[in-house]
Amino acid sequence: MEDVNKEERENYLENPEEYFQQVSSELSELRAKIKKEIASDTIVVAKDSNNPEWVKMQECVDTMANNSGLFQTPPTLLIHTPDSKTYISDDDMFNAIALTPEYIAIKEYSRDYFLGHLNQFKAVMAHEMGHLANGDQDIKNQIERNINPSNQKWEILADRMGAIIHGNPRDYAKYISEFMFYVSGKNETKPNHYSRTHLSTNGDARMLHKWADILEREGAMDKETGEIIDRKKAMEIFNRSKDLTTSLANIDSFSRR
């Protein structure tokens, strides 16, 4: 297996402080680029737009952020116009991304899908907020991803955290799966396709329903409604699962080298 992180790891080990500075200035550059695009209207800040539907999308994010108690300030939802130069993804999947620790962005054509599928929108936002709550866009995690072999733990943990932030892990499992199957449905084999970083859509759906089962069994989630009833307990279960998932992912990626 080719070790794509070898060079990054060597740079890091040579001078960790300098490496930290480098990743940190990359983040500053990205922020500056986003601000410039907001000023020139190639990226739209949902809450500042005069479109009531976009404003409502931000309100959905605000409500989850406030209920979760995990965000000092709710993440800002950005909508990329086709003229935006800031990278999201080249593929034609509907997508949303946690860009920096404070921004979540969606593509303009994803926005049109999401407006007609608000349950799926809420679940996808919860997933991206899961990345942010886990600190995945922070410098420390960015470095960890750069220097270690890639593995699936980041997405698994974003989904588990996303289910808690969403507030109803059973609905989260249902709607995220619906969204994923819709996106991957164009190709029959795709629901079973997994990568070094992502579970297959089938695998993800199974994992998320099991995650809801665990939260339910341990008393963090109401059996009838699927709502989180004990957030403190849900976070304790998450933190326990985090340590185990991290260990397993590390064993997995190192043994495959």
- List of residues contacting Zn ion (CB under 5 A): 155, 158
Q: State which residue, 99 or 158, has the beta carbon closest to Zn ion.
A: 158
- Give the nearest distance from C-beta 99 to Zn ion in angstroms: 12
**Among residues 67 and 89, whose Cβ is nearest to Zn ion?**
89
Give me the least distance between CB of 96 and Zn ion, in Å please: 9
Rounded to an integer, what distance in angstroms lies between the CA atom of residue 184 and that of residue 107? Answer: 17
Which one, 91 or 188, has the nearer CB to Zn ion? 91
Rounded least distance, CB 46 to Zn ion, Å: 20
Quick check: helix, strand or coil at residue 106? strand
> Least separation, in Å, of the C-beta of 125 and Zn ion?
12
CA separation for the pair 145, 236 (Å, rounded): 24
Is residue 201 within 8 A of residue 181, CB to CB? The reply is: yes
Residue 75 zone, left/alpha/beta (φ > 0; ψ -120 to 50; rest): beta
Between 19 and 137, CB nearer to Zn ion: 137
**By C-beta, is 76 or 134 nearer to Zn ion?**
134
Nearer to Zn ion, 19 or 128 (CB): 128
Provide the minimum distance between the beta carbon of 59 and Zn ion in the complex, in angstroms, as a whole number: 22
Q: What is the closest distance, in whole angstroms, from the C-beta atom of residue 127 to Zn ion in the complex? A: 6
Rounded CA-CA distance 167/129 in Å is 12
* Virtual torsion, Cα 142, 252, 202, 166, nearest 10 deg: -40
Other C-beta atoms lying within 10 Å of the C-beta of residue 182: 14
Residue whose beta carbon is closest to Zn ion: 158
Q: What is the strand order of the sheet 103-107 is part of?
A: 43-45, 76-80, 103-107, 96-100
